[in-house]
């Protein structure tokens, strides 16, 4: 994934000019708007970004390294429908599929191992 993408500070809105790939700046023990569905380690990094989703559909959310993904819409966590990953794959650690509506997405990342993580949000066409 593109490690030269724009950096988005935790809590920020991802703008259209940043496209669907960005670097999310994380912090130790950062507060998340909605409690993660997995217990969080305060020694690891977390953060969130808000993304406009112009259309409903299935989306893959991919991370460049270890981390937990929560996709929140209207204050409710979305259930994942599929996932893939390989701890030995440099640059693309995991991808999780969610069925999302055409409304803002609060993307929460927790339990990451560094303070920067590359995120890709891609609508599927299947």
pLDDT digit string (tens) for 24-69?
999 987 788 988 888 888 889 999 999 998 899 999 999 999 999 9
The whole-number pLDDT of residue 16 equals 64
DSSP 41-84: -TTSEEEEEEE---S-EEEEEEESSS-EEEEEETTEEPPEEEEE
Report d(CA 9, CA 17) in Å as an integer.
15
């Amino acid at each position: 994934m593109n490690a030269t993408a724009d950096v988005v500070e935790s809590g920020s809105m991802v703008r259209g000019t940043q496209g669907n790939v960005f670097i999310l700046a994380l912090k130790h023990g950062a507060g998340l708007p909605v409690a993660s569905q997995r217990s969080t380690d305060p020694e690891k990094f977390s953060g969130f970004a808000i993304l406009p989703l112009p259309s409903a559909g299935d989306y893959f959310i991919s991370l460049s390294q270890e981390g937990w993904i929560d996709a929140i819409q209207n204050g409710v966590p979305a259930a994942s429908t599929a996932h893939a990953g390989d701890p030995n794959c440099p640059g693309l650690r995991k991808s999780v599929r969610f069925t999302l509506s055409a409304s803002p997405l609060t993307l929460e990342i927790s339990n990451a191992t560094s303070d920067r993580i590359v995120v890709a949000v891609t609508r599927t066409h299947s």
